[in-house]
Amino acid sequence: MTQFDLTDDQREIQELARRFTADAITPFAAEWDEKHIFPRDTIEAAAELGFGAIYVSEESGGIGLGRLESALIMEAMAYGCPSTSAFISIHNMAAWMIDRFGAQAVKDKYLPAMVSMDTLGSYCLTEAGSGSDAAALKTKAVRDGDHYVVTGSKQFISGGGQNEIYVVMVRTGEDGPKGISCLVIEKDMEGVSFGANERKLGWHSQPTAQVNFDAVRVPVENRVGGEGEGFRIAMMGLDGGRLNIGACSLGGGQRCLDEAIAYTKDRKQFGQAIADFQNTQFTLADMETELQAARTLLYAAAVKVTENAPDKTRFAAMAKRLATDTGSSVVDRALQLHGGYGYLQDYPIERFWRDLRVHSILEGTNQVMRMIIGRELVRQ
């Protein structure tokens, strides 16, 4: 990245993702939402472009790109459907954790099918009693020879019940973050079960369910990283996940800004187009300015995460907080500019309003993002 601009290669990646979205996502997203369709065929088609393993290394079959390129892809796909784009982001996070921290045996076992998205992966950290306090998780894994015996449950898991593998944070030792390890658990292992699909405000194109483990025997070779390293691995995964969710908010916000511009130019009141009123232009101007500011911060944070800069976690938290809050605010104003029509399912705005709302909760709430930023500032 040259300063404040994208490279030619990055623009080509962005354009590839935009074309795929225009052809394979945008025309169908409203139906996926209305009928709660999980578009697995479309997700597998995205994998043919390399989007199932964006920052998995080329040695492991991925396309080995950086976090900025990933953000460009997620932003482009979210222009059509934030829910589907976010689902692909979570799969990428799980695949990267296995590639970055797994031994060769676990990489060989799972990554080839994850790269093609024939096998889909979920990230499992949150529990019913440990959301923002993630290090308080209770799911236990007790060593028994060449296996761990896993008991517990995970809450709000994207892909729960549909995905084939689950990258699960479990307690193998003492209380707190140092007693947490990371295991890859398969859907078909004995003792794995799922709750009913959650009935959600948005994100209707992907299933969300509780994942339960009842004395599940998991081979020790399925551990990702060493014992006690799971929480650090989970947090490093979230640095990238937060960027991607922020990018999904930018893509959704941009779509709704574009829709609002088109609508206000066409809609007439008091004898002139709504877009001709100064108040409308001021609202559009603020929406554009705030989106561009959030985008610039997110792209800068993505470069820091790729380069493993010492302040990468703080920048990822700042970018996630700003991008997700801005996306929701832009969509809300776009709905207002549509008036009563914005509230109808005939227009895409209400779907984006619902889909983007959860982005300020997942991958760490925006209140937790403020905690991360504030703690780093007072440590300096």
The answer to whether the beta carbons of residues 66 and 115 sit under 8 Å apart is no
| CA 126 – CA 366 distance, rounded (Å) | 16
The closest of 132, 176, 177, 136 to 368, measured between CA atoms, is 132
- Assigned token pair, 261: 């511009």
Decide if 363 is catalytic. Answer: yes
Structure tokens at 45: 């088609």
Nearest to 316 by CA among 378, 235, 255: 235
Q: H/E element holding 376? A: helix 366-379
Handedness of CA 308, 311, 317, 320 (dihedral sign): negative
- Least Cα distance to 320 among 271, 255, 248 occurs for 248
Q: How many residues does the chain have?
A: 380
With beta carbons less than 8 A apart as the criterion, state whether 278 and 264 touch.
no
Catalytic residue, candidates 69, 290, 350, 363? 363
Alpha-carbon distance of 375 to 41, in angstroms, equals: 43
Say if residues 66 and 303 touch (Cβ distance below 8 Å): yes
What residues are labeled active site?
Answer: 363
